[in-house]
């Protein structure tokens, strides 16, 4: 059966109705999930396994049967660990039906169907009793309900309900405890992701300053967390104003509350400066003694940086204070972490709220609209003085400016070709000799080897001794449904990679002319000049403001042989993964060329592409 899906075309600007397979949403959900990344997270899996073994052992030592409740079971991995560790029975809860179906098959394939019951419900809908989903309460609670912010996926309400209705009092819990940490910093770079700076323009009359509206300056901003790979932020880009502070902990073995709360930590600033940003992360302890710990700490706060585990499903958090505040070295202050059932935010106060009986404030809300319209990279892009200078230089030579181009609806680099369609729509209003800026754009590509990002699309096969090929196959089918032939957006400044080829221009778009009627087609090959595993092609746009001035949304400078690529931090680049090279078990028989066919379809605004790895024949020599 087919269904009609409405969408706003980000390139042409039109609203379209597309005929899709009835399982379209399912395939999208699976293809874009983080399941593969989690299964590849060796540190996470090992620590969970150790914690589960210890919890089952403690229950058995008390002479009790080990009855496990596993909330958010996913593939069923943690339940299979529990049974292998000696658990008598597991109730594995999974609300997403396709994943629950996969878990049933994975459990059966690994021979655990007699001891694991997969329940396709939300945990708050699970019933107890002889006719219910569970005959009695469990005495071991296992969950993986966490996101980068810890509580953003509803962990607190789920734990609260489980303790009230599904598990025994003082049950064993894996993880046993979570602790959230914070560090106050001054960072012009990160603050530029939240506030607009004055724009400085050099003119014949000297420097002119464009000051942002006052309501923008006074706005507390959006409370939403900005989750990033904090290890990719240079230590020179921020100044620590506090030590790493443990802000609050949650004991998952006891009754958990999802009610709003605030937690205060007094500290003395390490240096004087402007308090602007709070960096935050968490760790989970799998056992009551805290000997088995899985941490999200960045490299400078990690107890053993050499053992730091790369992961993308859990990163680190950047929070912005409502306003920057001056702090003086040695003068005591209070950092306050506030949270409701799903969200965390921070404030800086001179006196502890507990001492003066102050009720925690409500979440800050953007009242200038800019934080609702623009994402964090967009703020950074507008504040980029080098980029501004390029536009100012180009503007000195033109009499008309039509666009930047930037549109909030754009996800992939070529979505900003919407500018071309707008320019075409107003063609009749352009006078003779009118100058269009940018004059043109070009699509570029380079073949790369990722340090870690390949893991999000790599099959797992075996995970901690359990066969999860069924999960691999399900993800592959979802990708083959459409996305194996599509590129996906990633902010590559967070994901180190090195180029195996030279950058190559693929397509050009002449904005001085209207959008053509016929497709713009290109095919050719990219020669690989460096050895390595070709994980994929990265594509980006370059905008030619004038013949002498170009702004790149991708590579910012040529990379030397042993250097990582330097990407524009304000834009997402498009990554087209080569599926045959994502499995690390496949021998590294390096291809020598990558053939491509890329086509821009003016009627729809789509850019279709296909890349093929190939070898150059050696002519028998």
What residues act catalytically? Answer: 144, 153
Query: Where do we find the tokens 């998952």?
Result: 252
The CA-atom distances, in angstroms, between 297 and each of 37, 115, 377, 544 are: 18, 36, 23, 41
What contacts 592, CB < 8 A, 6 or more positions away? 527, 528, 614, 615, 616
What contacts 125, CB < 8 A, 6 or more positions away? none
Q: Give the pairing of strands 293-295 and 239-240.
A: unpaired
| Burial tier of 420 (Cβ tally within 10 Å: 0-12, 13-18, 19+) | buried
Task: Return d(Cα 576, Cα 598) in angstroms, integer.
Answer: 12
φ, ψ at 152 (rounded to 5°): -70, -15
Sign of the Cα torsion 426, 429, 432, 433 reads negative
Exposure string of 348-367, with b = 16+ CB inside 10 Å and e = fewer, is bbeeebeeeeeebeebbebe
For residue 137 the two structure tokens come to 């309460």
Q: Which of 543, 384, 566 is nearest to 492 (CA)?
A: 566
Which element (helix H / strand E) includes 328? none
Residues 40/455, Cβ–Cβ less than 8 Å: yes
Task: Return d(Cα 102, Cα 33) in angstroms, integer.
Answer: 14
Q: Which of 83, 73, 74, 77 is nearest to 114 (CA)?
A: 83
Exposure string of 143-162, with b = 16+ CB inside 10 Å and e = fewer, is bbbbbbbbbbebbbbbbbbb
What contacts 343, CB < 8 A, 6 or more positions away? 149, 151, 152, 223, 224, 225, 363
């Amino acid at each position: 059966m087919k269904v009609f899906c409405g969408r706003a075309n980000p390139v042409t600007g039109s609203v379209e109705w597309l005929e899709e397979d009835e399982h379209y949403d399912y395939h999208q959900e699976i293809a874009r999930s983080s399941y593969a990344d989690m299964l590849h997270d060796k540190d996470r899996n090992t620590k969970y396994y150790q914690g589960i073994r210890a919890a089952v052992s403690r229950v058995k030592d008390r002479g009790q049967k080990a009855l496990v409740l596993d909330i958010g079971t996913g593939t069923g991995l943690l339940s299979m660990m529990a049974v292998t560790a000696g658990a008598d029975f597991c109730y594995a809860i999974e609300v997403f039906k396709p994943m629950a179906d996969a878990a049933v098959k994975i459990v059966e394939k690994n021979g655990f169907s007699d001891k694991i019951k997969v329940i396709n419900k939300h945990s708050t809908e699970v019933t107890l009793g002889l006719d219910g989903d569970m005959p009695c309460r469990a005495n071991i609670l296992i969950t993986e309900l966490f996101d980068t912010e810890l509580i953003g996926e509803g962990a607190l309400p789920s734990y609260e309900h489980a303790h009230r209705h599904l598990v025994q009092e003082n049950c064993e819990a894996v993880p046993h405890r979570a602790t959230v940490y914070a560090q106050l910093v001054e960072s012009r770079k990160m603050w530029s992701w939240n506030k607009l700076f004055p724009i400085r323009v050099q003119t014949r009359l000297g420097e002119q300053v464009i000051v942002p509206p006052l309501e923008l300056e006074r706005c507390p901003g959006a409370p939403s967390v900005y989750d990033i790979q904090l290890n990719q932020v240079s230590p020179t880009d921020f100044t620590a104003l506090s030590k790493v502070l443990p802000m609050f902990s949650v004991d998952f073995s006891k009754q958990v509350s999802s009610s709003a709360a605030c937690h205060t930590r007094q500290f003395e600033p390490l240096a004087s400066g402007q308090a602007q940003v709070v960096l935050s992360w968490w760790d989970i302890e799998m056992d009551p003694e805290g000997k088995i710990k899985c941490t999200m700490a960045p490299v400078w706060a990690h107890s053993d940086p050499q053992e730091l585990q790369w992961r993308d499903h859990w990163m680190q958090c950047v929070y912005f204070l409502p306003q920057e505040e001056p702090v003086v070295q040695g003068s005591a202050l209070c950092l306050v972490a506030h949270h409701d059932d799903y969200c965390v935010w921070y404030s800086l106060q001179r006196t502890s709220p507990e001492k003066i009986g102050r009720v925690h404030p409500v979440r800050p809300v953007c009242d200038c609209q800019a934080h609702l319209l623009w994402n964090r990279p967009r703020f950074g892009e507008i504040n980029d003085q080098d980029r501004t200078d390029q536009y100012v230089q180009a503007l000195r030579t033109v009499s008309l400016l039509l666009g930047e181009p930037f549109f909030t609806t754009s996800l992939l680099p070529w979505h900003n070709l919407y500018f071309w369609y707008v320019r075409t729509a107003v063609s009749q209003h352009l006078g003779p000799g009118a100058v269009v800026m940018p004059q043109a754009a070009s699509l570029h590509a380079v073949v790369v080897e990722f340090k870690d990002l390949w893991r999000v699309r790599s099959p797992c096969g075996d995970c901690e001794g359990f066969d999860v090929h069924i999960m691999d196959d399900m993800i592959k089918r979802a990708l083959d449904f459409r996305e194996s032939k599509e590129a996906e957006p990633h902010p590559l400044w967070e994901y180190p990679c090195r180029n195996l080829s030279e950058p190559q221009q693929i397509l050009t778009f002449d904005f001085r002319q209207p959008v053509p009627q016929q497709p713009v087609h290109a095919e050719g090959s990219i020669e690989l000049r460096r050895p390595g595993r070709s994980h994929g092609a990265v594509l980006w746009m370059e905008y030619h403001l004038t013949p002498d001035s170009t702004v790149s949304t991708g590579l910012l400078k040529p990379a030397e042989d042993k250097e990582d690529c330097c990407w524009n931090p304000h834009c997402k680049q498009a990554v087209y993964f080569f599926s045959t090279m994502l499995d690390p078990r496949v021998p590294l028989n390096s291809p020598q060329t990558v053939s491509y066919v890329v086509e821009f379809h003016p009627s729809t605004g789509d850019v279709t592409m296909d890349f093929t790895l190939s070898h150059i024949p050696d002519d028998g020599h």
